[in-house]
Amino acid sequence: MRRADGWTWLTICCALLVAAPLVGLPLSFVAAPGGLAEFSGFVPDALGATAILLVGVGSGTLVLGTGLALLVSFCDFPGRGWVEWALVLPLAMPGYVFTLFALGRDVPGIRSALGAVCIFTLVLYPYVYLLARAAFLAQSRTLLEAARGLGLSRRAAIVRVGLPLARPAILGGVALALMEALADFGTVNLLGVRTFTDAIYRVWFNAFDRDAAMQLATLLVSVTLTLLLLERLARGRARYHQHAATGDVVPPVRLSGLSAVGALVVPIALVGVVVVAPLAQLAAWSVESIREGLLSPEFASAARNSVLLAAMSAVLVPMVAVLLAYGVRAGGSRFAAGAARTATIGYGLPGSVVAVAVIVPLGWLDHRMNAAVGTGLLLTGTVIGLFYAYLVRFLALAWGAVETGLMRIPRQLDDAARGLGADRLDVLARVHLPLMRTGLATAALLVFVEVMKELPATLLLRPLGGDTLAIAVWQATSESLFETAALPAFLIVLVGLLPVAAMIRLSGRRGAELEAAQTAGAWAEEYEVTAI
Amino acid sequence: MSDVRLRGISKSFGPVRAVRDVDLEIERGELVAVLGPSGCGKTTLLRLIAGFERPHAGCVVVGDEVVAGPGRFVPPEKRQVGMVFQDYALFPHLTVEANVAFGLAALTRSEREALTLRTLELVGLQHKARRHPHELSGGERQRVALARALAPEPKLVLLDEPFSNLDASLRAGLRREVELILGDAEATALLVTHDQEEALSLADRLAVMREGHIVQVGVPEEVYERPASRWAAQFVGEVNVLAGIAHGTGVETELGLFDLRAPASGSVHVAVRPEQLELSADHDGNAEVVAREFRGHDVLYRLRHEGGRTVLVQLPSLLLHDVGARVFVRPAASAVTTLVD
């Protein structure tokens, strides 16, 4: 048995830093038993709304995402290449921005759980779509041909062989979409749907009861973790299936006439409603707001705050991810690998949960330090707390990209470098970092975009006067100042389009159809699934 | 005085004992080849010497320094042991020049440039200094890997199956070239291979390894002519193992009488190399040609002897016998054989 070296310890420290607050959440039930009693009405409401969201968004994204994936994977029609990628664009549209659009256009019946279900389905179906499409394209022609040789029609073969083979991927996508829906705060809050995230916000801000907030967060986490577990289980099998499938890609059926027109028009209309129309409307409102001086006076500082927070996180979070991933590689112990995995559980957890989880240990430290040396509220009263929350929440995102990059570097290069007199830090600086450039850039971009969009944690932890673009959108929208909300929302969507565009370009350059889909799948994975 | 000494080195991975109690000495400037089938622990042995693995027992001495032993472990970057990897492990983001200069970080810029150039000249790649590894052929990559390992003037160069990734047609030429380069650099080198031809033609001395053990060490001729065991005889080259009755310096076998290297008596087995047999066309011969492997300068015949056994015979390709022909097989005039287990 080898002694744990410095790298292993470093990994463990990082992991503790990130995971400890989350592990502490359930302790709130011990610390303040019955803390929820005062808010007992919140729990049934939240459970009811959560159930509606799970069922509605689950079936909505399942049908929409799988249907569209079937269409582009097994059918060929003029413009298919465009449709394939256009369908990914809704990834760039945060729920609360689409809500702003829907509220501003006064869509009837939108202020309801059903309205929330519709919005989530429209902006979250790409998760199912991407994973299902990757799974369909990875299927071997041989299997489907075998089914047809056994007397099944083409359609029956797809239904009885193609779909079941892709089931793990599809379910994985649905679980992801559901996790996003449960984590959302902006949409449900603006629509007046009483979910857990909304309850946490109200308990926190209106009653200022941290214990109750932590207990609500614990309840929400248990739902999310169950989904995460389901997703992992589904994905485990998905890998197996994809490896088992070899052979040619399934040749698509050529559509013609009305069906070809329909295959082109329906997806384009969908993307038009989810992305193009809101962007056009936001642009129009933005122009109006600028012309009529409706822009909130804090707009400039919110934009600056957003960019600063996002940029600094985009440096900080990948840096920690590199330390963590490198610790696992250099330390080489199974313990370090386990620690790293623990450190990435923050992802997939709602921002409000993370905020509630980090505030308690930070608050405790603050009081200690203040009592000792009079530092004031150094951690909770400044952006430090916010950065901590971003680190906990987005570390997995950066870790996935960084670790993928690191794994592609053969260990022989480490050995070669060390044999040439380089110690471990040298190897990192002279071999790994230069080779990981792409992975690091990806990590930085992803974190940047996510921090720009992030609403609930920022809302709960921002220091006084530290509004961001996302908060500006939410605030103006909740006061029905749609024109005021438009410009910040417009900017958030534009930034959000960056990684989506990068993904499309990346896979376009690689050329081959299958590879493109796999890249997209891997990307979707890197983008959202890297937890645990 | 030997430059590198291994004493009782052992290493296990879980229940697998990869390297068992290995002793080996390498003289300064010598090229030693470790020859063994895949999975015999030879790569692990290299990694133990380089410092990528820690031995569970025994010690490794490089120069005057104990680099691994009880209570002592020098990390690889401090050992001054160069390694050429099977797939070369060139840094893909660096040019040829920068790859070679990688291990020279401690030198001043001008020293580094001069030494890099000198080493590239040694391997004949000075004109490709600014290329990247992916722009080179397999053989060129190999020479860069060698140059990179040699540039810091290590006390020992380790080569892990250095030719296995190359086309057969390139191998022989490169082998010669590597031998010359190592000689010019006056490097002490340990090469690991499963290719007996490579080991025999390249090494000053040969260590045959089996299941973690070194079963025989010697100069190539010795290992070939006087195998220590039936297994070693069969692994290093082709062999016929014949049963016979020894009477002092001769042994009577079903193929005839052979001289013995050392006197013996009673029932024995001897290793007879295919080139220690002769055959002539003969309608009433004692064997039939079953297969013929034409190898240019010589031919390997597979015969069925009238006693039922298969016999391998190697002859110069001057006169060919057809498959199916009756032949008479007998000991060659100069054949001296060795007893095996």
The domain segmentation of chain A, as residue ranges, is 1-25+303-466, 34-246+277-298+485-532
Chain Cα centroid distance, residue A467: 22
Is the model more confident about A237 or about B237? B237
Report the pLDDT value the prediction gives residue A504, as an integer from 0 to 100.
73
Q: What is the pLDDT of residue A235?
A: 64
What stretches of A139-206 show up as alpha helix (H) in DSSP?
141-149, 154-157, 163-183, 186-191, 196-202
Distance of CA B19 to the CA centre of its chain: 18
- Is pLDDT at B141 greater than 70 in this prediction? yes
Q: Which residues is B4 bridged to in the sheet?
A: B26, B62
pLDDT at A524 over 70: no
Query: What's the pLDDT at B5?
Result: 94
Q: Give the single-character DSSP code of A139.
A: S
Confidence band (pLDDT; 50, 70, 90) for B181? confident
Per residue in B261-292, pLDDT (tens digit) is 888 888 999 999 999 999 888 888 899 999 99
Checking if the pLDDT of A241 tops 60, the result is no
Helix (H) or strand (E) holding B271: strand B256-272
Question: Quick check: B8 pLDDT over 90?
Answer: yes
Instruction: Please indicate whether, in this complex, the C-beta atoms of A419 and B149 are within 8 angstroms of each other.
Output: yes
Flag if A420 and B93 touch (Cβ within 8 Å). no
CB contact under 8 A, A420 and B103: yes
Residues facing residue B314 across a β-bridge: B300
Task: Find the closest chain A residue to B13 by CA distance.
Answer: A1
Q: How many residues does chain A have?
A: 532
Nearest CA in chain B to A410: B89
Residue type, B312: L
Measure the CA–CA gap between A394 and A344, rounded to whole angstroms. Answer: 8
Cα separation, A435 vs B90, in Å, equals 12
**Cβ contact, residue pair A420, B77, below 8 Å:** yes
> Is the model's pLDDT at A166 over the cut of 80?
yes
Residue keyed to tokens 């565009």: A501
% of residues, chain B, pLDDT over 90 = 58
Token couple for A271? 């993307």
Would you state the pLDDT for residue A516? 39
Whole-angstrom distance, CA of residue A79 vs CA of residue A205: 50
Question: Which of A420, A430, A434 lies nearest to residue B148, judging by beta carbons?
Answer: A420
Q: Do B75 and A413 touch (CB under 8 A)?
A: no
**What pLDDT is recorded for position B108?**
93
Residues in B closer than 8 angstroms to A431, CB to CB, are 91, 93
Topology (CATH) of A1-25+303-466: MetI-like fold (1.10.3720)
DSSP secondary structure letters along B25-93 = EEETT-EEEEE--TTSSHHHHHHHHHTSS--SEEEEEETTEEEEETTEE--GGGS-EEEE-TT----TT
Sheet arrangement for strand B57-62:
B16-27, B2-13, B57-62, B65-69, B72-73
| CB contact set of A51 (below 8 Å; sequence gap of 6+) | none
pLDDT beyond 80 at B340:
yes
Q: Worst-scoring range by mean pLDDT, A358-362, A392-396, B58-62?
A: A358-362
Residues whose CB falls within 8 Å of the CB of residue A97, separated by 6 or more in sequence, listed in order: A278, A282, A473, A489, A492, A493
- How many angstroms separate the CA of residue B218 from the nearest CA in chain A? 28
Question: Is there a contact between A77 and A16 (Cβ–Cβ < 8 Å)?
Answer: no
Across chain A, what does the average pLDDT equal? 83
Q: Can you name the residues that pair with A467 across neighbouring β-strands?
A: none
CB A5 within 8 A of CB A331: yes
Nearest to B91 among A413, A419, A426 (CB): A413
Q: What is the CATH number of domain A34-246+277-298+485-532?
A: 1.10.3720.10
With a pLDDT cut of 70, the percent of chain A lying above it is 89
For A174-280, where are the E strands, in sequence order?
253-254
Instruction: Provide the pLDDT for residue A498.
Output: 86
Mutate to test the interface with B, among A1, A408, A415, A420 (most CBs of B within 10 A): A420
- Considering the entire predicted model, what is its pTM? 0.77
Q: Which of B12, B47, B100, B102 to mutate to test the interface with A (most CBs of A within 10 A)?
A: B102
CB contact under 8 A, B85 and A435: no
Within 8 A of B47 by CB-CB distance, chain A residues are 415
Please tell me whether residue B253 adopts helix, strand or coil conformation: strand
Tell if the CB–CB gap between A416 and B93 is shorter than 8 Å.
Answer: no
For range A7-21, the mean pLDDT: 82
Are the folds of A1-25+303-466 and A34-246+277-298+485-532 the same? yes
Please list every residue in chain B whose beta carbon sits closer than 8 Å to the beta carbon of residue A417.
Answer: 91, 102
Say what the pLDDT of residue A49 is.
Answer: 93
Helix (H, G, I), strand (E, B) or coil at B324: coil
Whether the pLDDT of residue A34 is over 80: the answer is no
* pLDDT number for residue A527: 40
pLDDT band at A246 (very low <50, low <70, confident <90, very high): very low
Residues of B in contact with A418 (CB under 8 A): 51-52, 75-77
Partner-chain contact A410 B89, CB within 8 Å: yes
Contacts of B148 in chain A (CB under 8 A): 416, 420
Q: For position B290, what pLDDT does the model report? A: 92
Question: Residue A149: its pLDDT value, please?
Answer: 77
> Which of B80, B89, B105 is closest, CB to CB, to A415?
B89
Decide if pLDDT at A91 tops 70: yes
A81 Cα to chain B: minimum distance (Å): 32
B76 vs A2, A413, A418: nearest CB: A418
The one-letter code for the residue type at B161 is E
- Taking all residues of chain B, what is their mean pLDDT, rounded to a whole number? 90
SS3 A75: strand
**pLDDT one-digit tens code per residue, A422-459:** 988 888 899 998 988 888 888 898 899 999 999 999 98
Quote the minimal CA–CA distance from B85 to chain A in Å.
8
B17 min Cα distance to partner chain A (Å): 16
Give pLDDT, residue A4. Answer: 55
Mean pLDDT, rounded, for B130-149: 91
Q: With a cut of 80, say whether residue A507 has pLDDT above it.
A: no
Query: In the predicted model, what is the mean pLDDT of residues A8-18?
Result: 82
Cα torsion for A366, A368, A372, A376, to the nearest 10°? 20
Residues recorded for chain B: 341
